Amino acid sequence: MNPVILKLKKKIKYRIDMSFLSNSYKDISRLSSQIISYGNKQFKVKELFSIKGNDIKNIIIQSSVDLMDNIGKELNNINITVHGNVGYSFGEQMLSGKLILYGNALDYAASGIKGGSIFIYGNSGDYTGGKTNHGNVGIVDGFLYVKGNVGNNSIERMRRGNVIIEGNIGDYACNDMLSGTIIIKGKIGKIFAEGIKRGTIFTKDKKVVKEYARSNDAEYNFTKFYFKEISNVISKKIFLENKNLIRYYGNTNSNNLSEVFLFKL
Amino acid sequence: MIYNGIKIDNTFAEAFNMKASRIIVTADNLKWAKHACDSFTGFATSVIACGIEAGIEKQLKSSETPDNRPGYSILLFSMSRSQLEKQLEVRVGQCILTCPTTAIFSGMIGEDVIPLGKNLRYFGDGHQISKKIQDRRFWRIPVMDGEFLCEESTARVPAIGGGNFLVLSTNRKSCLSACETAINSIKNQPNIITPFPGGVVRSGSKVGSKYKALIASTNDAFCPTLKSITKSTLPANVNCVMEIVINGLTFDDINEAIKTSIQSISKMKIKKDIVAISAGNYGGKLGQYHFHLRKVMK
């Protein structure tokens, strides 16, 4: 079984809804003859894309462009690898499987995901890992890794799961967080973690912990273990050591029971 | 059959279907991991009265454990799911949670899941923190030395308990020495444990008793002191018998362990004192697995 390779036959000028890739097809011929809209007309997938391979559970999109929206939307048990940029709602409300993007994503990437893993080896736009544009829940569960920078209003209303951002994150990030774990290696924008209730944040930005109570310097078996597990998932060592971590936990003046680990890189 | 100078009796060991689970216990150093494991596996020699049979499977290096700290893996065997769940929970709660610096993880993956820290988390009195990494959930329970980290559940797999062989010797010193050598030879073999103290049993039992309240009693056919008054199976020159009981995850694991153990005894200088190697069985009607010693040693 070879992975299905999709490649645009010609340069496109209108947006394409790529959510058809998340459907479960019996075989490659069903996928090829799926009807999709382009502009004000309808086409079969094979008329817009050249298609190779037959393993419909493993899909590779080559030379993707940012006019291609909803790639991996509500994805369930399918792996998709994308080379190039993608449009809006990349992996939105994904359930399971794996999405890998070697490029940049526009807004609403990984918004409201409920499971699975998303790896973005580029930058990502606003509302990344946040609420969907029609719902009120953020990341319910799952794994998100962004190598580059992330836009505004990201990781909003996160309930569970793990997020690793190697670059910077924009304004109004991590607001109304309910639980989950976030590692942010870069800088943080204005108004961070407003209305947070629980959860764990690893950051080097001191302004985040202004209103937190400094916890003791006790040993945390969890951090050592967590870095090892996460390093395995992203196949890359996270260079954080226990000795460089200072823990801040909760704010007695509010219902904030979240914890922040400040680290020195 | 004579194997390398040792007589192997034409008999078989009778073993039973059991359910097993593996857990990994880590600590800041091996000393404290060992304290926790010794406590956990204490009073876990036989399902007859202990609920489970448990033992340390092997020592783990820092690089082999989930949290990069040294530790041990423990195998637990039980006849029923409810006993396994109950014993695992109470033993983790009383022996691992209480031991300084320790953490506990599941040591096997499977579809049949049993709770590990699922109920233990309530010890945190609302301050416990859940962390989910991929499909595995962990609990961080605040304790006085920092945090106790435990995985929510572990897996349960079918296994075999009660693989055994008997060492028949002319004297107690040689018998014990042979058993010690045998146990050392399988100390690092994966997927097996020898649940009895030091791996050796001196009180082999038979099913039933003259007293109605007892389900098992001394195996008089192998007691050298009763040779003259019971229907003894012991040759005249045997004055000491000891048994090694082996529980394992698969038939092959136990087979291999019995073979390695007997081989190690056959290489000893004191093998002249070993009259024969035999095995314990109940006539073949109770156990689902039979380890025929002569087949094992072929």
Rounded to a whole number of angstroms, the distance from the CA of A12 to the nearest CA of chain B is 37
Q: Are strands A259-263 and A245-249 parallel, antiparallel or unpaired?
A: antiparallel
Q: Does residue B91 share a domain with residue B169?
A: no
Shared domain check, B235 and B194: yes
Same-domain status, B150 and B27: yes
- Reduced to 3 states (helix: H, G, I; strand: E, B; else coil), residue B255 is helix
Q: Please tell me if residue A225 touches chain B, with a CB cutoff of 8 Å.
A: yes
Handedness of CA B126, B129, B134, B136 (dihedral sign): negative
Q: Is the distance from CB of B103 to CB of B148 less than 8 angstroms?
A: yes
Split at pLDDT 50, 70, 90, the class of A265 is low
Q: Count the domains in chain B.
A: 2
Whether residues B148 and B248 share a domain: the answer is: no
Specify whether B174 is located in the same domain as B207: yes
The answer, for A97 touching chain B at a CB cutoff of 8 Å, is no
CATH of domain A58-263: 2.160.20.60
When pLDDT is averaged across residues B96-103 and rounded to a whole number, the result is 96
Is B116 in a helix, a strand, or coil?
coil
Q: What is the pLDDT of residue B117?
A: 92
pLDDT of residue A210: 86
Helix or strand or coil: residue B242? strand
- Please give the single-letter amino acid code of residue A210: K
Which residue in chain A is spatially nearest to B150 when comparing CA positions? Answer: A222
Please tell me the distance from the alpha carbon of residue B277 to that of residue A94, in angstroms, as a whole number. 61
Domain end, chosen from B130, B157, B184, is at: B157
What per-residue confidence (pLDDT) applies to B272? 92
* Contact (Cβ atoms closer than 8 angstroms) between residue A116 and residue A108: no
B172 and B290 part of one domain: yes
Contact A228 B67 (CB under 8 A): yes
Q: How many residues are recorded in chain A?
A: 265
Task: Output the domain CATH number for residue B125.
Answer: 3.30.70.520
Considering only CB atoms, which chain A residues are within 8 Å of B129?
A: 198, 200, 259
CB contact under 8 A, B134 and A222: no
Give chain A positions within 8 Å (CB) of B67: 221, 224-225, 228
pLDDT digits (tens, 9 = 90+) for B178-208: 999 999 999 989 999 999 999 999 999 888 8
- Token pair 């990349």 is found at A90
Among A160, A221, A233, the residue with its CB nearest the CB of B147 is: A221
Whether residue B220 has pLDDT greater than 80: yes
- Within this chain, do residues B91 and B199 fall inside the same structural domain, yes or no? no
pLDDT of A134 reads 86
The pLDDT assigned to A242 comes to 66
B68, B132, B145 ranked by CB distance to A224: nearest: B68
Regarding whether B153 and B23 lie in a shared domain, the answer is: yes
- All residues of chain B having their beta carbon less than 8 Å from the beta carbon of residue A242 are none
Instruction: Quote the pLDDT of residue A263.
Output: 84
Q: Does B61 touch chain A (CB under 8 A)?
A: no
Per-residue pLDDT band at A1 (split at 50, 70, 90) = confident
Q: Which of B157, B181, B212 is the last residue of a domain?
A: B157
Query: Which contacts (CB < 8 Å, 24+ apart) does range A156-164 have?
Result: A156/A127, A156/A129, A156/A130, A156/A131, A157/A130, A157/A131, A158/A129, A158/A182, A158/A199, A160/B132, A161/A113, A161/B132, A162/A230, A162/A233, A162/B132, A162/B133, A163/A129, A163/A139, A164/A230, A164/A234, A164/A238
The C-alpha atoms of residue A86 and residue A257 are separated, in whole angstroms, by 37
B144-178: per-residue pLDDT in tens?
A: 998 999 999 999 999 999 999 999 999 999 999 99
Given B92, B127, B157, the domain boundary residue is B157
Are both B85 and B211 inside the same structural domain? no
Model confidence at A256, in pLDDT bands (50, 70, 90)? Answer: confident
End-to-end Cα, chain B, rounded Å: 10
In angstroms, the separation between the Cα of residue B146 and the nearest Cα of chain A is: 6
- Give me the total of CB pairs closer than 8 Å, taking one residue from chain A and one from chain B: 56
The verdict on A228 touching B (C-beta cutoff 8 Å) is yes
Whether residues A221 and B67 touch (CB distance < 8 A) is answered with yes
Q: What is the pLDDT of residues A6-19, one digit of tens each?
A: 999 999 999 999 99
Residue B72 structural domain: 19-157
Nearest residue, CB atoms, B132 vs list A141, A218, A259 = A141
**pLDDT class for A114, splitting at 50, 70, 90?**
very high
Does B112 lie at the interface with A, CB-CB under 8 angstroms? Answer: no
Q: What is the ipTM for the molecules in this complex?
A: 0.89
Cβ burial, residue B143 (10 Å; 0-12/13-18/19+): middle
Nearest-CB residue to A160 (from B132, B140, B146): B132
Taking the mean position of all CA atoms in its chain, how far away is CA A6?
A: 22
Of B134, B138, B140, the CB nearest to A143: B134
User: What is chain B's mean pLDDT, rounded?
Assistant: 94
CA dist list (Å): A105 to A86, A114, A229, B120:
5, 19, 26, 42
The CB density around residue A35, as the number of other CB atoms within 10 Å, is 10
Are B176 and B190 within one domain?
Answer: yes
Question: Is residue B240 scored above 70 in pLDDT?
Answer: yes
Q: Which of A222, A228, A232, A245 to mutate to test the interface with B (most CBs of B within 10 A)?
A: A222
Same domain, B168 and B234: yes
- Across the interface, whether the CB atoms of A233 and B149 are under 8 A apart is answered no
Compare all CA atoms of chain A with the CA of B144 and give the residue at the minimum distance. A218
pLDDT > 80? residue A238 = no
Encode pLDDT of A179-234 as tens digits.
999 999 999 999 999 999 999 999 999 988 888 888 877 667 788 889 889 999 99
Q: List chain A residues with CB under 8 Å of B134.
A: 117, 143, 229, 233
The whole-chain average pLDDT of chain A stands at 92
Question: pLDDT tens for residues B25-81?
Answer: 999 999 999 999 999 999 999 998 899 999 999 999 999 999 889 999 999 999 999
pLDDT number for residue A218: 67
In chain B, the percentage of residues whose pLDDT exceeds 70 is 100
Phi and psi, residue B270, nearest 5°: -80, 10
For residue B61, give both structure tokens. Answer: 């290096």
State whether residue A47 sits within 8 Å of chain B by CB: no
Residues B150 and B173 in one domain: no
Per-residue confidence at A95, pLDDT binned at 50, 70, 90?
very high
CA distance B12 to B296: 10
Say what angle helices B251-266 and B172-185 make with each other, to 10 degrees.
130
Q: What is residue A135's predicted lDDT score, i.e. its pLDDT?
A: 86
Provide the token pair at A17: 């809804």
**Amino acid at the residue A61:** I
Output the CA torsion sign for B218, B220, B223, B229: positive
Domain residues of chain A, as ranges?
A: 58-263
Instruction: Dump pLDDT digits (tens) for A131-184.
Output: 988 889 999 999 999 999 999 999 999 999 999 999 999 999 999 999 999 999
